[in-house]
Structure 1
């Protein structure tokens, strides 16, 4: 099967959260599989009201989300404009009509449920390989183990995960001796974010002069309750970012954060010297997201506490995009230095002092580090390589 042309359905959350980073996270899969010669379709069926980033509220009206997906394919993959299906609230189809998508599902070879975002189509071929892709490692495995009551429909979600034939994860260190992610009874295979490198050639060609800030794009806290495993509580990203609160003064550099999420301390970040902008507002379209990265010197970011504490080996989809734009990344170590060659384009830190030194190291030889960033993107995240290996491992 690995050498055959496959009919592939890829799911995502681009309609549920129509903002730039989310669009790139999911829709590069569709473009990448198509470029490998596969017959690929995007499908979204989350049963949920979509978020409207302009109105900053969830809404029963799907118009903004429908237009958003259509615009992405029209702009970045016009040959795929007729290959997406958004089933709004599990009721009404947009993009492809329901009968056309049902025929695709009936004849599909591979169903890739990225983030476990969607329900398995009811009439999916019995011969179709169903793959659950865990993009939120530690969190998802704890939820599978503990079935925390504050998570809505957790039992149904756990049953859906178990109904897949293969289980992949962005926790590339999940089989490492130092990784404490509960594996449950799943035979986890590892993978990573695919990046369509030529779609990032524009940002990569834009000079990153020394006056530009080091930046990141983040959600402060995405958890709706306490994430507890074996008596230990694990946290989201804000907990780790607190450790960098003084970094602008320590590094004596321009640092900028585009932040969203619950309880983000925007005023306090600004008081400590961070340039602060609204995350969804600054990166609402795929083009805005690319522009924000292109206008950066590099990325400076922490990871979610759960990724770090459990030594997952997770590496950010966002950071992969910075690399593809030729921007070096200074990012908190989750265990990925056993997988990637850290120090060249990718610089890891464990403490604020190490983050300061990493920024200074990049600035001392910026041109070489920027070239190394592009090299890392090509070596580790090129969609042709990532998705070809994924197909081999899935079959």
Structure 2
């Protein structure tokens, strides 16, 4: 998308090394294969860090794709880094002329920024998908940072409008269990999809003509799998249906739409969070619906409606 806008953009990705060298090499090859498939061969720099560390020092990093010399040459001229969820840390981060923090999970980012360094002291701009961050009813932890909001991005060159499937299937992709921790009203509630979906588990019985499917990490031995299946939910392996960008797009296209449940903290704090997955679902169903959803999100920012 940035290239189509005539911007000289590259993909910068950090890969911390593990103890399994063979697995690491497999990840590197898969990364390269996917970027080639999307027209980004020669437009990326994969930073392979061995050993892994929270400090990202270019001296201890192997550059794959673009060479270290080429990267340093770019850093020597005008440049901007869109740093997704604080992926790149100092000292490498500080080599960029302009640094933009892009928040994709406002409840956790805003909370932990009140507790520890999360990049708030080393970026020039702060963007969030928490569309209600400036709303009067937003309950996110107070922040002195000049947050700007942005809509989840979807490339309609890749996510094209698809025919509606014959079977009315609704699905979502995610993690059934979640280990994140955020303090809400003096407690640390369970933020998992397991808890968020609980009020809606009777839906397949109430709408028998539709199929409800969860692409969640629920193993065959997990009692949750049997419980959900008895309630007429279909469970599929997310590592199969979303293994690659192309299989992910095909999986979204197989559904009439997404049905998901927002984690409780986003409801309680009225963050206005919308996922990039939701935008992708909308794009594959109808460009007009995507535009309508964006307009609705703008209303949410003004506090006209909220998650409930």
What range is the shorter-chain TM-score in? Answer: 0.7 to 0.9
Aligned to 2:178: 222
2:5 to 33, 36, 43: 36
**Larger helix fraction of residues:** 1
CA distance in 1, matches of 2:223, 2:91: 37
- SS of 1:325's equivalent in the other structure is helix
Larger CA deviation: 248-257 vs 234-243: 234-243
Distance 1:34 1:301 in 2: 33
Using the TM superposition, give the Cα deviation of residue 336 of structure 1 relative to its aligned residue in structure 2, in angstroms. Answer: 4.2
Q: Are 1:180 and 1:310, in contact at CA under 8 Å, matched by a contact in 2?
A: yes
* Matching residue within 68, 71, 78 for 2:33: 71
Q: 1:210 to 1:271 in 2, by over 3 A?
A: same
Q: Secondary structure at the match of 2:10?
A: strand
Residue 285 (structure 2) pairs with residue 326 (structure 1) = yes
Tell me how many residue pairs correspond in the alignment: 284
- CA change 1:109–1:179 in 2 (3 A) is same
Q: Secondary structure at the match of 1:321?
A: helix
Q: Does 1:143 align with 2:112?
A: yes
State whether residues 218 and 224 of structure 2, in contact with CA within 8 Å, keep that contact through their aligned partners in structure 1.
no
Instruction: Report SS of the residue matched to 2:106.
Output: coil
CA distance 1:117–1:264, change in 2 (3 Å): farther
TM-score, scaled to structure 1: 0.65
What is the correspondence of 1:52-201 to structure 2 with a 5 Å cutoff?
59-60=20-21, 61-76=23-38, 78=39, 80-89=40-49, 91-120=61-90, 122=92, 125=95, 128-145=97-114, 147=115, 155=116, 158=117, 160-201=119-160
Runs of 4+ aligned residues of structure 1 deviating over 4 Å after TM superposition are 123-126, 261-264
Cα distance change of structure 1 residues 96 and 261 upon mapping to structure 2, 3 Å threshold: farther
When the two chains are superposed, the root-mean-square deviation of aligned CA atoms in Å is 2.8
The answer to whether the aligner puts 1:338 opposite 2:299 as a matched pair is yes
- Give the secondary structure class of the aligned counterpart of 2:214: strand
Q: Which runs of 5+ in 2 are unaligned?
A: 51-60, 291-295
The unaligned stretches of length 5 or more in structure 1 are 1-31, 50-57, 148-154, 330-334, 341-347, 351-395
Rounded to whole Å, the distance in 2 between the matches of 1:213 and 1:229 is: 34
Residue 123 of structure 1 and its aligned partner are, at CA, apart by: 7.5
TM-score (norm 2): 0.82
Secondary structure of the structure 1 residue equivalent to 2:135:
coil
CA pair 198-123 structure 1, distance change in 2 beyond 3 A: closer
1:164 CA displacement: 0.9
